[in-house]
A and B are shown apart, each in its own frame.
Chain A
Amino acid sequence: MKILVPFKSVPDPNDATVVGAAASTPKSVINPFDEIAIEEALRIRERGEAAEIVGITIGAPTVDEQIRAALAMGVDRAIRIDDSRALDPYAVARILRVLIEKEAPHVVIMGKQAVDDDSNQVGQMLAGLLRWPQATFVSKIEFLSNKTRARCTRETDAGLEVIEIKLPAIITTDLRLNEPRYVSLPGLMKARRKSIEVLTCDQLGVTVRPLTTVLSTARPPKRAAGTRVESVEELVTKLRQEAKVL
């Protein structure tokens, strides 16, 4: 079985607390949900159910560092679509769709959302474009019927839901699917011998224009600082009399 894992390079969400990073420039990492997807693909392979794991990403050469991290985790080969434009989820889905059709994987596993954009759209849009089944916000994956179907547990607002989908399909990962392994130095060494193929949209034969434009970004207004209370009695009194919420 061939697994395709699309992943995105995002600014490190833990930047303030990452120790060991040298000065200044904002660090980029593999989107945490995509890292979970890569980890799941690796575990599926370790179970003997997959033979090849291909990582794909869209971006400028600066994202090669994240590609090497994915290869160091154990992805077999990687493809970077060279495009440094600000793309919206629909543009990403339209580009990835062409590559997926070309690579013809049995399953695509990817993060449910990117932690910088928080849109949670690409996987579902891909499934729509390809007319493939989808399983979103998945916390467990099992392959059945000689890997023609997958049984997936989904995390929904009402609790856990179990569905079965025919393959090939799109699966998006949620937090509790697994805990990704850290990149080891032996993995890093091995990764240096793995290949990164670079393609342009032209070479893929796809021309897309993002339909969404970000006009501006801003910080939300800070909540006014509150007060400390010293006892339960004081808290209850303030909630009752000051906040009038009890």
Chain B
Amino acid sequence: MDFAWSDQQRELLDAVGRFASQQLNYDVIENDREGVFNHEAWKKCGDFGIQGLLVPTEYGGLGQDPLTTVAALERLGYACKDNGLLFSINAHMWTAIIPLVYNGSEAQKKKYLPGLSNGTLIGGNAMSEPNSGSDAFSLATTAVKKDSTYVLNGSKVFVTNGPVADLLVVFATVDKTRGPDGISAFLVEKDSPGMNVARKLEKMGVRTSPMAEVFFENCEVPEENLLGKEGGGAFLFTRSMTWERGCILASAVGSMQRLLETCIRYANERKQGGQSIGKFQLVASKIVDMKLRVESCRNMLYHYAWLSAHRKSVYLEAAMTKLHISDCWVKCCEDAIQIHGGYGYMTEYEVERELRDAIGSKLYSGTSEIQRNIIASMLGL
């Protein structure tokens, strides 16, 4: 088992680290306070090549394998403190790009993937509704075929990137009686008549990632914008959700590493009672736990990515990775605040923001409870 990166991978990861630390850490405290999406940073990421990491080169991407991709995202999380920006990038990659790569027609791929790859187009998806979150497939948004269009009616909630998206993958049912087999996915461009991106939603964390409710009122979508086949939406969603579960917290592993290093530095520098607080076992013990979490998360992440790269089934591993990293991330953030004492509570020190950002990870891409259900059923229980 070779745990080493190749020279080319190392070169790529170092370039990501340099780029992110020099270009993506401006105004994070202010933007988080105001809930502002950093368009400039997004664009720089697009020019740099982040969004298109996984997209095949013939559609404008870099054609990288899953392992290199998650390692790059991990490095991004280490070097970039704006977790909201990364959350938006992840939503864009897993909910818009992946469905297009796997289920898009040639025409759809050619039309959207180049722009999604270089960041000139921002993507996202609209799945959750006021009455269907964990129970995603009980959605109520309808799509009725009329001549050469589908007419969408319904309301979507928690649409990440909603306020800024050029393209949303919208899930609606063409036949409620068929249950999940009626669900279909549609590519809906912004400003489509009948599409209303409503108020921006304020969140506890990842506040620099914009989120909105989106309403569809007789919104007409051309039939060539059906993504995949009618009734294929649930399968498409599950596949992209599996990618999302495995990959969305890769950057969190990087964030945890950064927090770990911050805590070690602080514990060595901060002196109380005549010695560094790192010498107190209760403080040191927390840092040790952080280290163990980082290592176990990293290993799970890479294992998942390796399996994915080798085209093995990863449904179980994706759920375990997501569950474990989210749990660890929140605990690391709590420990980091505790280690910093009063300063950990202060906005200026940027430690409290990490916890606010991390809490969401136990909710999105399937709550921790859902992940446990998945793992239990995969264990044959």
Please determine if A and B sit in direct contact within the complex, based on CB atoms under 8 angstroms apart. yes
Interface residues of A (CB under 8 A from B): 17-21, 65, 68-69, 72, 182-186, 188-189, 192
B49 and A20 contact, CB distance less than 8 A: no
- How many Å lie between the Cα of A182 and that of B21 in the bound state? 11
What are 30 contact pairs spanning A and B, CB under 8 A? Answer: A18-B17, A18-B21, A19-B17, A19-B20, A19-B78, A19-B79, A20-B14, A20-B18, A20-B20, A20-B21, A20-B75, A21-B14, A21-B17, A65-B11, A72-B15, A182-B22, A182-B23, A183-B19, A184-B15, A184-B48, A185-B15, A185-B48, A185-B49, A185-B50, A185-B53, A185-B62, A188-B11, A188-B12, A188-B15, A192-B8
B62 and A182 contact, CB distance less than 8 A: no
- How many Å lie between the Cα of A100 and that of B12 in the bound state? 32
CB neighbours (8 Å) of B15 from chain A are: 69, 72, 183-185, 188
Q: Known contacts A19-B78, A19-B79, A68-B11: does B62 contact A183 (CB below 8 Å)?
A: no
CB neighbours (8 Å) of B18 from chain A are: 18, 20-21, 182-183
Q: Total interface residues on B, using CB and 8 Å? A: 24
Q: Which 7 A-B pairs have the closest CB atoms?
A: A20-B17, A185-B49, A20-B79, A19-B21, A19-B79, A184-B48, A182-B19
Q: How many A-B Cβ pairs are below 8 Å?
A: 55
- What DSSP secondary structure best describes chain B's contact surface? helix
- How many Å lie between the Cα of A192 and that of B22 in the bound state? 24
CB neighbours (8 Å) of B23 from chain A are: 182
CB neighbours (8 Å) of A68 from chain B are: 11
Q: Does B258 contact A (CB under 8 A)?
A: yes
Q: Which residue of A lies closest to B19 (CB)?
A: A182
Q: Does B16 contact A (CB under 8 A)?
A: yes
- How many Å lie between the Cα of A180 and that of B12 in the bound state? 19
Q: Does B202 contact A (CB under 8 A)?
A: no
Q: Which residues of B in the span 6-33 have a Cβ within 8 Å of any Cβ on A? A: 8, 11-23
B48 and A182 contact, CB distance less than 8 A: yes
Q: Which residue of A lies closest to B20 (CB)?
A: A20
- How many Å lie between the Cα of A19 and that of B78 in the bound state? 8
Q: Which residue of B lies closest to A183 (CB)?
A: B15
CB neighbours (8 Å) of B11 from chain A are: 65, 68, 188
CB neighbours (8 Å) of B79 from chain A are: 19-20
Most A-side CB within 10 Å, residue of B15, B79, B258: B15
Q: Does B191 contact A (CB under 8 A)?
A: no
Beyond the given pairs A19-B20, A20-B78, A183-B18, 18 more chain A to chain B contacts, judged by CB atoms under 8 angstroms and listed by A's residue number, are A18-B17, A18-B18, A18-B21, A19-B78, A19-B79, A20-B18, A20-B21, A69-B15, A72-B15, A182-B23, A183-B19, A184-B15, A184-B47, A185-B48, A186-B49, A186-B62, A188-B11, A188-B15
- How many Å lie between the Cα of A19 and that of B74 in the bound state? 13
